[in-house]
């Protein structure tokens, strides 16, 4: 399964959102759009979730945190940052638009450089 990315609160030993997502998408097929909620902190997490088959990604926690710490301006900055991170991840992954996110090869995108 995919390691890294889409981190969230979980029980010790349980699988991550990223590991569960492909099976959920397969199980529901086209009958239900799958929305990912939880563990999304960066634009790279958003791209990974879309590449794994999510129809949409919810970002309530980062927005709530930004609202609490910076008000409306904090939310604007948080969303601008998330968008910039997503655009950079798309460029680095060779993904021209969000519809093409499923073409991202996560086997290479999630590898940690060794040095």
Instruction: Give a yes or no: residue 109 inside a domain.
Output: no
Stronger pLDDT, 46 or 13, i.e. the higher one = 46
N-terminal to C-terminal alpha carbon distance within the chain: 23
Instruction: Give a yes or no: residue 87 inside a domain.
Output: yes
Instruction: Give a yes or no: residue 38 inside a domain.
Output: yes
- What percent of the chain is modeled with pLDDT above 90? 63
Q: What span, in angstroms and rounded, lies between the C-alpha atoms of 37 and 17?
A: 9
Map residue 43 onto helix, strand or coil: helix
Instruction: Give a yes or no: residue 22 inside a domain.
Output: no
Residue 5: how many other CB atoms lie within 10 Å: 24
Residue 92 pLDDT: 93
Instruction: Give a yes or no: residue 14 inside a domain.
Output: no
Residue 66 pLDDT: 96
Residue 17 pLDDT: 86
Instruction: Give a yes or no: residue 17 inside a domain.
Output: no
Indicate the angle between helix axes 60-93 and 43-51, nearest 10 degrees. Answer: 70
Instruction: Give a yes or no: residue 63 inside a domain.
Output: yes
Say if residue 9's pLDDT is above 60. Answer: no
Based on the structure, what is the number of domains in the chain? Answer: 1
Instruction: Give a yes or no: residue 41 inside a domain.
Output: yes
Q: What is the pTM of this model?
A: 0.78
What is the domain range of residue 46? 1-8+33-99
Residue 16 pLDDT: 83
Say if residue 109's pLDDT is above 60. Answer: no
């Amino acid at each position: 399964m995919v390691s890294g990315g889409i981190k969230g609160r979980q029980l010790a030993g349980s699988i991550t959102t990223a590991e569960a997502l492909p099976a959920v998408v397969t199980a529901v097929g086209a009958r239900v759009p799958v929305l990912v909620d939880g563990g999304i902190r960066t634009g790279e997490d958003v791209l990974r979730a879309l590449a794994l088959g999510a129809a949409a990604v919810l970002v309530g926690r980062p927005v709530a945190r930004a609202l609490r710490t910076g008000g409306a301006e904090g939310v604007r900055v948080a969303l601008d940052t998330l968008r910039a991170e997503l655009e950079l991840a798309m460029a680095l992954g060779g993904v021209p638009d969000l519809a093409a996110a499923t073409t991202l090869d996560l086997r290479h995108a999630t590898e940690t450089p060794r040095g």
